Amino acid sequence: MEAPGTNEEKEIEELWGKYADGKNVEARNEIVLKYTWLVKRIVLRFKGSYSNFGQMDDMVNQGIIALIDSVERFNPDFGNKFESFASLKIRGAIIDYMRKQDWIPRNQRNLAKELEEVYGELYTQNGREPAREEIAEKMGISLLHLDKILQQRHNAIILSYEEAINEKMMVASPLIHNSQEKASPEPEALYNELKLKLMEAIDLLNEKERLVVTLYYYENLKLKEIAEILSVTESRVSQIHSAAIIKMKNRLSSY
């Protein structure tokens, strides 16, 4: 099921009203069914970090549990979109599950970490963004090997970035804190600061990197769809994406 249209939205709104009246379990379950597409979309974002459909099923199950919890905790009176609230919870649950399972091989994590450290060292040393040639020379590898690492280590780098951002979001997001009885202005201030820092980091990327990050995180497109838009291979999009994330992590490291 795709994101709900106008008629679907009206039906969902009626279900929310029915559920709010007495926490009707049947209404809750119907709402959950209406939003299973959200779980599947988020799970597919991590495609490549799991190697078989059994693992994908496990991730979907974790997402559904988080979705049920989101329905039970969500308060429409605050004016927040349920999709935004639930997405944060679902992504956090899936990331936490993947981290516990450690599906990304240790050597991939180590190479991703080395790449980030080299980038950070060169940036600090030269006071500017290092060129690909400088990174490859520092690591003692060829440019072809560097591109291969960027492509193959894409999932390790992305998961690491998603972990860091999601942890910040769970602490700072007003969507989470407004769902509690005692609201505080602090989460909203932290959330706005986080958005500002992310915007600054994105602005410092080159044009292609900004486009890939925007299409992936804001338009929720898959790497294959982005590759078609840019008229490049999916592996090239992975390389651009990985490079962008390394740069953003370096910019956001102090924050």
Same domain for 119 and 239?
Answer: yes
Among the three residues 72, 101, 130, which one is the final residue of a domain in this structure? Answer: 101
> What one-letter code names the amino acid at 224?
K
Euclidean distance between CA atoms 198 and 216, whole angstroms: 14
Q: Are residues 120 and 191 in the same domain?
A: yes
Q: Which residue has the higher pLDDT, 177 or 104?
A: 104
Burial class (CB in 10 A: 0-12, 13-18, 19+), 68: middle
Q: List pLDDT tens digits, range 118-170.
A: 988 898 888 888 888 999 999 898 988 888 777 766 666 666 666 656 665 55
Q: What is the pLDDT of residue 158?
A: 63
Question: Does the pLDDT of residue 174 top 90, yes or no?
Answer: no
pLDDT of 211 reads 93
The reply to whether 147 and 235 lie within a common domain is yes
CA distances in angstroms from 38 to 4, 91, 101, 185, 217, listed in the order given: 10, 10, 22, 29, 14
Question: Does position 233 have pLDDT exceeding 80, yes or no?
Answer: yes
Number of domains in the chain: 2
- 96, 132: one domain: no
DSSP state of 231: T
Q: What's the pLDDT score for residue 248?
A: 83
Q: Give the distance from CA 208 to its chain's centroid.
A: 19
What is residue 181's predicted lDDT score, i.e. its pLDDT? Answer: 47
Are 118 and 79 in the same domain? no
For residue range 48-65, list pLDDT tens digits in order. Answer: 555 544 577 888 999 999
Q: What are phi and psi of 130, to 5 degrees?
A: -75, 145
What per-residue confidence (pLDDT) applies to 55? Answer: 75
pLDDT at site 221: 79
Give the model confidence (pLDDT) of 83-103 as tens digits. 888 888 898 888 888 777 765
The CA-based angle 93-104-217, given to 5 degrees, is: 55
Q: Which of 101, 127, 155 is the last residue of a domain?
A: 101
CATH at 201? 1.20.140
Spacing of C-alpha 59 from chain mean position: 14
Question: What pLDDT, on the 0 to 100 scale, is given for residue 137?
Answer: 92
Whole-structure pTM value: 0.56
Rounded mean pLDDT of the chain? 78
96 and 117 together in one domain = no
Q: Is 140 left (phi over 0), alpha (psi -120 to 50) or beta?
A: left
Say if 139 falls within a structural domain: yes
pLDDT the model gives residue 204: 85
1 in a structural domain: no
Would 196 be classed as within a structural domain?
Answer: yes
pLDDT recorded at residue 176: 55
Q: Where are the beta strands (DSSP E) in the chain?
A: none
User: Domain containing 90 — which CATH number?
Assistant: 1.10.1740.10
Residues 74, 140, single domain; the answer is no
pLDDT band at 39 (very low <50, low <70, confident <90, very high): very high
| Pair (165, 200) in one structural domain | yes
Q: Which of 33-37, 106-110, 140-144 is the least confident region? A: 106-110
pLDDT of residue 52: 47
pLDDT of amino acid 250: 78
146 and 244: one domain? yes
**150 and 172 share one domain:** yes
Per-residue DSSP letter, 181: S
pLDDT bracket for residue 207 (50, 70, 90): very high
Residue 235 has pLDDT above 50, yes or no: yes
Q: Are residues 131 and 240 in the same domain?
A: yes
Are 81 and 116 in the same domain? Answer: no
Q: Which domain holds residue 205?
A: 106-252
